[in-house]
Amino acid sequence: MPDFRRHISIPHWDMHPNDDDFYNAFAASHDDYKAEIRDIYFGVEYTYQHLGETRRYGETMGVSATSGQLDGLLRIQREFGVECSMTINSLEIPIELASDPIVIQGFVRFIGEFYEKGVRSCTLSNTHLMRHGILQASFPEMRWKNTVNQAVKSVQELYDFAALGYNTICFDRSLNRDMETLKEVYREAKKVDIEVSLLASEGCLPACPFKVEHDSWQEKLQKSHSNYWQTFDNTCTGWRARADAQMPRLGTDINMATDELFELFMENTDVLKFSGRMNAPIAAAKSALCWTGTTKGSNRGGELLSVSNFEYADSVKEIYEKKLAPYLVSRWTPGYTLVSEKNQFDLTEDDNIWLTKKGKGLSKKLATCKNRCWDCHACENVFGVEKFNSALSL
């Protein structure tokens, strides 16, 4: 039996308009759900004046939690023992934040405001500042996490980032498809007391050539009259809108169609992190956090069915014990429900491709395929799609 306790990192609803709804939904969740959550991460932004200009350093997506939402997260931390974790993950880092003593001290005071309130976990992308050591000295109880956008993907990088002072290392999405390296990384991490985190849900194309620019522009576009996806309709918007968008090679999600694969990922990670800070529930009052899904599969020919049924489970433990395969991401993601009666469906091979022999075989292959899509084409074969070497050609 896998150890479910404190294994899941979930996003806060930073875009949600009400301050209290997330706290209330978490408080209403099942006790097993609460026990499984490692932390709840939220965005923050540091703004300051430098050489007569207003500068910023914060999170990538352009949305931050309000002070009222932070109060709710700290209340969750006090009442349920689940950490709230601030996120400063932009890779657009002003040089003065690592070189100007006055700016550095201002940033230390900024972090200190959260620290004084009780925040003890922080994702920070500024490696030069981590090398400086002032943050670790000023906040000795803080857990420092790198950002997945730094693409740490080897044992050597594990040791390098540990030497910088990071306690939790979020590894690159490529390890979702490289179980051999993940196992090696996990073994070595335990030798130096590093927590291994893996981003389980990731809609981005493996090694997407647009990602650096996307992450650089996202914050500005999000605060404008548009956003990234409206401005650029010829990148991921294009292939995500396809009828066969469930095809795994169009993203980098962990895929777990069998007990064996679920157990492998649980055994070789300390934290499975789920994306979703941009998701803003429309009706969240009087809801409860849980795991939700929409059962929509493919038949053996690869044609998507029109069936679309909402379902939910109280916890990852329930999903595993009831064998509600396919497991996390392929079927289940962090969500919420207003429903008083639980919905769970007995899927058959006819309405979920991941329960077929081909689907299970593909899921197993994905765990070790290393995203060599041009040389594989297993996804296209299973989903009944014409072979292609690059999603950019679609």
Does residue 354 form part of some domain? no
Q: By the 8 A CB rule, do 183 and 198 touch?
A: no
- Asked whether residue 360 is assigned to any structural domain, the reply reads no
Contact 288, 23 (CB under 8 A): no
Cα(310)–Cα(288) distance, rounded to whole angstroms? 15
> 333 lies in a domain?
no
Please say whether the beta carbons of 197 and 168 come within 8 A. Answer: yes
Q: Examine residue 341 and state whether it is found in any structural domain, yes or no.
A: no
- Per-residue pLDDT of 348-389, as tens digits, reads 766 788 999 999 999 999 999 999 999 999 999 999 999 999
3-state secondary structure of 85: strand
CA distance linking residue 312 with residue 345, whole number of Å: 9
pLDDT by residue (tens digit) across 5-21? 999 999 999 999 899 99
Query: Sign of dihedral through CA atoms 324, 330, 336, 337?
Result: negative
Tell me, yes or no, whether 394 lies in a domain.
no
Using CB atoms within 10 Å of the CB of residue 305, give its burial: 0 to 12 exposed, 13 to 18 middle, 19+ buried.
middle
pLDDT in tens, the chain (394 residues): 899 999 999 999 999 989 999 999 999 999 999 999 999 999 999 999 999 999 999 998 888 999 999 999 999 999 999 999 999 999 999 999 999 999 999 999 999 999 999 999 999 999 999 999 999 999 999 999 999 999 999 999 999 999 999 999 999 999 999 999 999 999 999 999 999 999 998 888 888 888 888 888 887 888 788 888 788 888 888 777 776 777 899 999 999 999 999 999 999 999 999 998 877 676 667 899 999 987 654 433 334 333 457 899 999 999 999 999 999 998 999 999 987 778 888 777 667 889 999 999 999 999 999 999 999 999 999 999 999 999 898 8
User: Residue 155 belongs to what domain range?
Assistant: 8-279
Are 177 and 363 in contact by the 8 Å Cβ rule? The answer is no
Q: Cα–Cα distance between 386 and 242 in angstroms, integer?
A: 13
Closest CA to 85 of 192, 175, 3, 167: 167
For the chain, what is the domain count? 1
Q: Provide the CATH number for the domain around residue 243.
A: 3.20.20
CA distance 318 to 182: 26
Q: Does any domain span residue 272?
A: yes
Q: What does each C-alpha distance from 103 to 21, 57, 274 come to in angstroms?
A: 36, 11, 33
Do the domain assignments include residue 362? no
| Residue at 137 is within a domain | yes
